[in-house]
Amino acid sequence: MPFVRIDLAKGRSIEIRRSIGEIIYKAMIDILNVPADDKFQIITEHAIDDFNFARSYLGVTYLPGIVFIQITLNAGRSVDLKKAFYKQIADDLHTQLGVRKEDVFINLIEVAKENWSFGNGVAQYAQ
């Protein structure tokens, strides 16, 4: 059910881009209990000039290597679960791909289950 958008500056190889997606998917399975094969991701590269973000916010300094991750998912997970999820993604992107933890920006958008259709014009999760 999660729908993941990953936005980053041009210049990373397809292998790195796919690895970013796999790291996020693994954290969704490990931490958020997302079922296997529930993987829907769009990975988009942009010219660095298309990014417009503060160079620092809340004590975090960002570099052009920033990775924006936005995930739409069903509502209902605890704050502690979300914190563990953010940490695993930042840690794994850093250790496996060398992404600065400071440059891992994650936003969750929580929605009700009836707000999904996985095809055929059917709301598969609607009760």
The CATH number of whichever domain residue 37 belongs to comes to 3.30.429.10
Per-residue model confidence (pLDDT) at position 59: 97
The predicted structure's pLDDT at residue 126: 84
Q: 101 lies in a domain?
A: yes
Q: Which domain range does residue 52 map to?
A: 3-115
| 121 within domain boundaries | no
Residue 7 lies in a domain: yes
Mean predicted confidence (pLDDT) in 92-111: 98
Which has the minimum average pLDDT: 46-60, 95-109, 112-126? 112-126
Q: How many helices (H) and strands (E) does the chain have?
A: 2, 6
Distances (CA, A) of 58 to 6, 54, 65, 89: 22, 10, 18, 19
Is residue 98 one of the residues assigned to a domain?
yes
N residues, the chain = 127
Average pLDDT score, the chain: 95
Number of domains in the chain: 1
Q: Residue 90 falls within a domain, yes or no? A: yes
Measured distance CA(21)–CA(42) in Å, rounded: 9
For residue 120, being part of any structural domain is answered with no
- Per residue in 22-65, pLDDT tens? 999 999 999 999 988 999 999 999 999 999 999 999 999 999 99
Instruction: Give the separation between CA 110 and CA 90, rounded to whole angstroms.
Output: 20
Position 1 pLDDT exceeds 80: no
Q: Residue 101: what residue type?
A: K
Please report whether residue 34 resides in a domain.
Answer: yes
Residues annotated as catalytic are 2
Amino acid 116: pLDDT: 81
Average pLDDT over residues 102-107: 98
Note whether residue 65 is domain-resident: yes
Question: pTM here?
Answer: 0.92
